[in-house]
Amino acid sequence: MRRKTGKGTGGTAAPDGLAADVATFLASLKARKFSPATVRTRRTALLRLQQFMAAHGTARVQDVTVEVLGAFRRELEGNGFTPNSVEVYLSGVRQFFNCLETAGRLFVNPAREIPIRLAPPPLPRVVALADIRRLLAAPDLSTPIGQRDRAILEMLYATGMRRAECVRLSVFDLDLDAQTVRVLGKGRKERVLPLGKHAAAWLQRYVREVRPKLLDPGQSPTDALWLNRCHQPYSGEMVNFTVRKYARQAGITAPVNPHTLRRSCATHMLANGAHPLMVAKMLGHADLESLTHYLRVTIRELRQTHAASKPGE
């Protein structure tokens, strides 16, 4: 959320009491397991608000009015912030004032009168099911590395897990009899994901036949699930490389990465009738808001199918 150009804001001290309110608000975000990136964005927005208030003689948070916030918006716009960055900053400011209102620190919440005009994000890229099949079939199964890579691709698509969750897996996180895998997600929240018979079969083959060949006989054994040719645990960049490599081999021209497979998993599940609550739980989302993009893709495809089938004609 960096501005394109702009003037410095200087080092003017924040009004008394506001810094403490901001610190309390940011601590509450951390306690509620907001992502570090979100907390940083909120901190930056509120720092600029503190500096704006100090520079314009607004001494207390209770003295902030709709007009003050309107002037703050205009200053951001005048300093070269992109329209979307302005709205993200104001969204953080409104969240801050809502928390102050809930805590009884405000009688009137001026941020309620500030409209947030975020542009809808672009539709996420999703890999078509036919392309997914070609992607999964791309590794050379005559080699141990190809068998390992097939297992990685099958697991990423079947579970929709994040790249970081994939590289953190240990052999003890698998329950191949139950066809499940345990992952540690954001905020160190643990969840158990179904693998499905295809991913479970490839994982079983990898664990029994391939992974022992990738262990270094001269070192203490590691419990990391995914190992490379050098007997080291897989990194996130290695997972990225693996997905991109086989996407190219499968003839998929659009960029594909592990998150693309995550989105594709969610979208295909929703399109096939999965309940949004179940999909959100599987992906590790706290609520349904994060599924909005996937649902938009599904509705777009539904409209295309509806138009093509010409119902009623």
* Catalytic sites, residue numbers: 162, 186, 259, 262, 285, 294
Computed from CA positions of residues 276, 280, 285, 287, in that sequence, does the dihedral angle turn out positive or negative?
positive
Helix, strand, or coil (residue 40): helix
Asked if 253 contacts 119 with a C-beta cutoff of 8 angstroms, the reply is: no
Instruction: Look at residues 213, 207, 258 and name the one whose alpha carbon lies nearest to residue 237.
Output: 258
Asked if 84 contacts 119 with a C-beta cutoff of 8 angstroms, the reply is: yes
- Could you give the CA distance from residue 85 to residue 3 in angstroms, rounded to a whole number? 7
- Could you give the CA distance from residue 86 to residue 100 in angstroms, rounded to a whole number? 21
Cβ neighbours for 206, distance < 8 A, ≥ 6 positions apart: 147, 148, 151
Asked if 124 contacts 53 with a C-beta cutoff of 8 angstroms, the reply is: no
Asked if 135 contacts 250 with a C-beta cutoff of 8 angstroms, the reply is: yes
CB count, 10 Å around CB of 43? 16
Mode of pairing for the β-strands spanning 180-184 and 174-175? antiparallel
Tokens of 285: 């989302």
Torsion of CA 261, 265, 268, 269, to 10 degrees: -170
Tokens of 122: 């672009």
CB count, 10 Å around CB of 47? 14
Asked if 193 contacts 161 with a C-beta cutoff of 8 angstroms, the reply is: yes
